[in-house]
Amino acid sequence: MKKFKTLKLALAALLLGSLAACGGGGGGDGTLRLALTDAPAQQFDAVNVTIEKVLVHQSATAAETDGGWTEIALVGDPVKRDLKTLENGVLAELAETSLPAGHYSQLRLVLADNAVTPMSNSVVPTGEAEVELKTPSAQQTGLKLNVDITIVPGTVADFVLDFDAGKSVVSAGSSGQYLLKPVIRVIAQVGTAPTGVAGFVDTDLTGSAVTLQQSDGTVVGSASPDINGRFKMLSAEGSYTLVVTAPGQATAAVTNVPVTAGFITEVSTDAAPITLLPSSASGTLDGAVTLNDGVNPEGPAVDAMVGVLQNLTSGQTIEVAGGSVSNPDGIYSYAVPVDAPQVAPYVELPAPLVFVPDDAVAGMYSLAPHLDGFADLPEPVGPLAADATINKDFLFVSTP
């Protein structure tokens, strides 16, 4: 089973597609245009990054010292951007440049150095003071994204970099420090016409989060509904599952949501939002993830991620929770519903969504640890009972 998988530091980017839209460029060149958006980070009042350079290369394996890099001109001067202002499909122009026609396989985002300009990259934990966001790798070589961009003469290739701040910022134990472990999705768009999914959830669903997922549980977009319950996520063309979670509630899933390039699929309206779901007790899934790389002493796998997946009887897999393990101890812990998820097949508006409990999978989950360069370690767990804890540790081992 394909597991929870998103991008990590020393990043392998999840590319959702590559499309070119008419306009711009000339001769044998085309234009690459990039915008920036953000997935929700509910635990922070602000997540600030300062991007100084964006570089592109035709080779996915090119090192920063190799020739062949092209700098993509930033739109305006480097500025400290609060990613929290870019949630729910809000876009900020990032960079644009003319490029020779061809295929490009790597992007690098070079962030400002906090040692040179203090607080260039920072976070504001909810209700607390601003603190530095540590980005040691980014300051040296840039955040690496493996991509699949085709530049066609006389056209503009539009892409959105979806910076998932909620999964990218990791607390460094009790030190009070925060580390950047970037989770960035690269999403092809058609010019300025957005592609994706939008709708409304009931405003009584306090603390709700909405994700857009592929059929194997791979998250391709996420949003926090605004005060009116409105959410919007950008994606590539395809068929997806929309997942809604909220503390103390059962999970909801809308299956087979169609997305057409250049259009936003509306799944619900403000007059008929996705309503308050049945309440559900929670249980806890937790443990530690360690690494034996054959060189260093066995210790916490601080670059690992763990997803909590649920296999619906309709055939889709959904991610109910997930993120990076804590640093420096490599621990994960997620509270998840023990009652049945509510599942509705997508229907075109104005027909209403009809949710039915998937009782056969109540409390049944799979834990999906991932560490770049190692074989995946999926593990089914459950049934999970109310107020109970299932502890599962994982060990990644290098093979010769």
CATH number at residue 293: 2.60.40.1120
- Look at residues 193, 208, 233 and tell me which one is the last residue of a structural domain: 193
Q: Give the tens place of pLDDT for each residue, 213-246.
A: 999 999 988 888 989 999 999 898 999 999 999 9
- Residue 75 domain-assigned (yes or no): yes
Instruction: Please state the pTM of the whole predicted model.
Output: 0.80
Q: Give the tens place of pLDDT for each residue, 311-338.
A: 999 999 999 999 889 888 899 999 999 9
pLDDT of residue 306: 95
Point out the least confidently predicted range of 1-5, 69-73, 135-139. 1-5
User: What percent of the chain is modeled with pLDDT above 90?
Assistant: 53
Domain count, the chain: 2
- Residue 12 domain-assigned (yes or no): yes
Q: Give the tens place of pLDDT for each residue, 164-223.
A: 887 788 887 667 788 888 888 888 877 667 889 999 999 888 888 999 999 999 998 888
Contact 117, 199 (CB under 8 A): no
Q: Give the tens place of pLDDT for each residue, 278-307.
A: 999 999 999 999 999 878 788 999 889 999
- Look at residues 144, 167, 193 and tell me which one is the last residue of a structural domain: 193
pLDDT of residue 297: 81
Q: 286 and 189, same structural domain?
A: no
Q: 287 and 185, same structural domain?
A: no
Q: Give the tens place of pLDDT for each residue, 91-131.
A: 889 999 999 999 999 999 999 888 889 999 999 988 889 99
- Residue 352 domain-assigned (yes or no): no
DSSP notation for 367-386: EEEE-TTS----EEE-PPPT
Q: 167 and 20, same structural domain?
A: yes
Helices (H), 49-175: 136-141, 165-168
Q: What average pLDDT does range 247-260 have in this prediction?
A: 96
Q: How confident is the model at residue 15 (pLDDT cuts 50, 70, 90)?
A: very low
Output 5 or 39, whichever has higher pLDDT: 39
Q: How confident is the model at residue 8 (pLDDT cuts 50, 70, 90)?
A: very low
Q: 295 and 187, same structural domain?
A: no
Q: 308 and 181, same structural domain?
A: no
Output 21 or 255, whichever has higher pLDDT: 255
Instruction: Decide if pLDDT at 11 tops 50.
Output: no
Angle (CA) 23-27-31 rounded to 5° is 40
Q: What average pLDDT does range 82-93 have in this prediction?
A: 84
Q: What average pLDDT does range 380-391 have in this prediction?
A: 96
Q: What average pLDDT does range 340-368 have in this prediction?
A: 97
Question: Structural domain of residue 3, as residue ranges?
Answer: 1-193
Point out the least confidently predicted range of 87-101, 338-352, 378-392. 87-101
User: Which residue shows structure tokens 């499309």?
Assistant: 19
pLDDT of residue 12: 33
- Residue 42 domain-assigned (yes or no): yes
Each as own residue / partner, the long-range contacts of residues 258-263 (CB below 8 Å, 24 or more positions apart, any chain) are: 258/346, 259/195, 259/196, 259/197, 259/235, 260/195, 261/19, 261/190, 261/195, 261/236, 261/237, 262/190, 262/191, 262/193, 262/195, 263/193, 263/195
Q: What average pLDDT does range 138-146 have in this prediction?
A: 74
Question: 282-292 and 299-300: which strand pairing?
Answer: antiparallel
- Residue 262 domain-assigned (yes or no): no
- Look at residues 147, 175, 193 and tell me which one is the last residue of a structural domain: 193
- Residue 176 domain-assigned (yes or no): yes
Point out the least confidently predicted range of 156-170, 234-248, 340-354, 376-390. 156-170
328 preceded by a cis bond (ω within 30 of 0): yes
pLDDT of residue 338: 97
d(CA 245, CA 242): 10
- Residue 231 domain-assigned (yes or no): no
> Which segments within 260-338 are labelled E, that is strand?
264-266, 282-292, 299-300, 305-311, 317-324, 331-337
Q: How confident is the model at residue 27 (pLDDT cuts 50, 70, 90)?
A: very low
pLDDT of residue 176: 76
Contact 180, 255 (CB under 8 A): no
- Residue 17 domain-assigned (yes or no): yes
